[in-house]
């Protein structure tokens, strides 16, 4: 057996009023069968119990006044690991996910994580699960940074640092929507060594149309703000097109459900894109 120590994996989690999901996320990290981990939480002015939950689990907690892309970058600067996982507070890791990711990334520079919906309790969450099932059934054709849907979340540190350095500094405090798309796009300009980790994570999906609307309205507004800078226009254009493909006899049911979900998300997104500068909800991550 090798005495070589396991590499440190740093997990960066942005939060804003995330108390309803953060405990499940951190419990899943605590339950990993991989020993060498650190967790950095970057919070944007939460008014709930987010901080106390983070402290209960022993996570490093840092507060900023910023949005998603900046939060992920600030978190990266606080980490020490050679491998970085960009996680969200509403994601729950499968017990062996990090151990398997560390093993698999020996062949790659970054990994996309196969994702399903967490404990579907209503029709809306089942739509999300069908959509994720459809996306992952297509696999390799979804890895293209412009045309695909999958985006890496587990990176070698040097690749992620180079990707961040390639992003114009003025975008850091602006970007909410497309943060992963921008990072993945820049990372793929550095390396095409991308793998997929199966059965990796479950996503705690919105439970109501109101929650879905708020989230995607915010993404639409953020996209309009990003477009005004003139950066990543082609990336945004391709990412906001209605997704095509995936229609087969085997996937028909998933395709119908996925299409319905995309319409619901798209309506909220377009409302935020067109009305966000006039009707502006509270700014948060």
* Ranges assigned E (strand) in 118-173: 154-156
| DSSP-derived pairing of the beta strands 83-86 and 194-203 | unpaired
3-state secondary structure of 189: helix
Q: Which residues of the chain have pLDDT under 50?
A: 1, 283-285
CA 280, distance to chain mean position in Å, is 23
The pLDDT value given to residue 137: 80
Q: Is 72 exposed, middle or buried (0-12, 13-18, 19+ CB in 10 A)?
A: buried
For residue 25, what are its two tokens? 């996320």
3-state secondary structure of 14: strand
- The C-alpha atoms of residue 217 and residue 268 are separated, in whole angstroms, by 5
The pLDDT value given to residue 249: 72
- The C-alpha atoms of residue 28 and residue 274 are separated, in whole angstroms, by 38
Strand partners, 197: 113
In terms of residues, how long is the chain? 285
Model pLDDT for residues 224-255, shown as the tens digit of each residue: 999 999 999 999 998 887 666 556 777 889 99
| DSSP-derived pairing of the beta strands 37-43 and 9-15 | parallel
The pLDDT value given to residue 201: 98
- pTM of the predicted structure, to 2 decimals: 0.92
Residues 6+ apart with CB under 8 A from 84: 9, 10, 11, 12, 76, 154, 155, 156, 157, 160
The pLDDT value given to residue 141: 63
Residues 6+ apart with CB under 8 A from 33: 95, 96, 99
């Amino acid at each position: 057996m090798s005495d070589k120590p396991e590499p440190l994996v740093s997990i960066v989690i942005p939060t804003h009023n995330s108390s309803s999901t953060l405990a499940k996320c951190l419990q899943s990290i605590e339950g990993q069968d991989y020993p060498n981990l650190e967790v950095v939480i970057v919070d944007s002015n939460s008014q709930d119990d987010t901080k106390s939950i983070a402290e209960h689990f022993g996570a490093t907690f840092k507060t900023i006044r910023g949005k998603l892309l900046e939060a992920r970058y600030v978190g990266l600067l606080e980490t020490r690991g050679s491998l970085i996982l960009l996680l969200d507070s509403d994601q729950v890791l499968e017990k062996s996910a990090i151990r398997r990711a560390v093993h698999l990334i020996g062949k790659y520079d970054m990994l996309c994580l196969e994702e399903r919906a967490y404990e579907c309790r209503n029709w809306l969450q089942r739509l999300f699960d069908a959509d994720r099932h459809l996306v992952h059934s297509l696999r390799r054709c979804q890895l293209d940074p412009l045309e695909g849907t999958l985006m890496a979340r587990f990176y070698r540190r040097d690749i992620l640092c180079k990707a961040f350095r390639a992003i114009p500094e003025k975008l850091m405090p602006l970007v909410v929507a497309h943060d992963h798309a921008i990072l993945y796009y820049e990372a793929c300009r550095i390396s095409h060594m991308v793998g997929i980790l199966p059965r990796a994570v479950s996503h705690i999906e919105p439970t109501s149309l109101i929650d879905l609307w708020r989230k995607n309205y915010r993404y639409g507004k953020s996209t309009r703000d990003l477009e005004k800078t003139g950066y990543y226009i082609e990336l945004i254009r391709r990412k906001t097109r209605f997704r095509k493909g995936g229609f087969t006899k085997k996937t028909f049911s998933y395709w119908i459900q996925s299409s319905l979900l995309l319409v619901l998300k798209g309506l909220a997104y377009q409302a935020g894109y067109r009305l966000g500068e006039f009707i502006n909800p509270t700014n948060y991550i």
